Chain A
Amino acid sequence: MQIIGTVITGIGIIFLFIGSLGLFRLPDVYNRLQAGTKCTTLGAFFTIVGVGIMQPDWLLKTLVIALFILITNPISNHALGRASCKSGVPLCDRTVVDKTKNFEKCRPIHDELEGDGEIQ
């Protein structure tokens, strides 16, 4: 039981590290969001459940924590992605397909835009 839990926790922590590596290396906000959401959600889930398997008395509470992570993390990342789209952060120059051009909803708000895309 101890060994299984340690292995699962190790997998989760490797996912967490890969997520932050992707956050550091990828070119623009939208790619970074992808690394920051998927990898860290999966990694945190594996880590927390792995600790729960290591100490079987804790399994219920760790499952509750993992459930909350699974609900809240995608919501905040969705809100951040929508906000960066609306505030006009540019895509990186290697982007091939931009489907948000076709939707009026996804375009940045142009009135009194303070220019979030500029580098301060």
Chain B
Amino acid sequence: MAVNTSDIVFLAIISAGIVLCLLRMLKGPTASDRAVAVDTVSTITTALLVLLGSIFERYVYLDVALVYAVLTFIGSVAIARFLEKGI
């Protein structure tokens, strides 16, 4: 495990992005805004997991990122189908 300076900068920028999404989640006037914010956070999280896997230098950790890439959108689709009264 080797943490470079670039990795720390990347993690800081990603943290700032997640904080912005969190503020939108707290503020957003309607439920749709909040759903969009959480969907964005889940995409950012997938990229973050791959980056952390490269920092830890563990190949098998990529499976978790694959689970994120495949599954997190189902929650957003469920919320969307509720909002349009489709479920």
Contact = CB atoms under 8 A, between A and B. Distances in A.
A66 B6 CA distance: 22
Interface residues of B, number: 47
Contacts of B6: 6, 10
Contact of B35 (A13, A69, A73, A80): A80
B13 A116 contact: no
Main secondary structure of the interface of A (DSSP, over half): helix
B36 A33 contact: yes
Contacts of B77: 75-76, 79
A61 to B, nearest CB: 5
Main secondary structure of the interface of B (DSSP, over half): helix
A80 B44 contact: no
Given A20-B17, A62-B50, A116-B30, A83 B83 contact: yes
Interface of B: 6, 10, 13-14, 16-18, 20-21, 23-24, 29-33, 35-37, 39-40, 43-44, 46-47, 50-51, 53-54, 57, 59, 62, 65-66, 69-70, 72-73, 76-77, 79-85
Given A16-B17, A40-B40, A76-B77, 12 more contacts: A14-B13, A16-B47, A20-B16, A24-B23, A29-B33, A40-B44, A55-B54, A65-B66, A72-B69, A75-B73, A83-B32, A83-B79
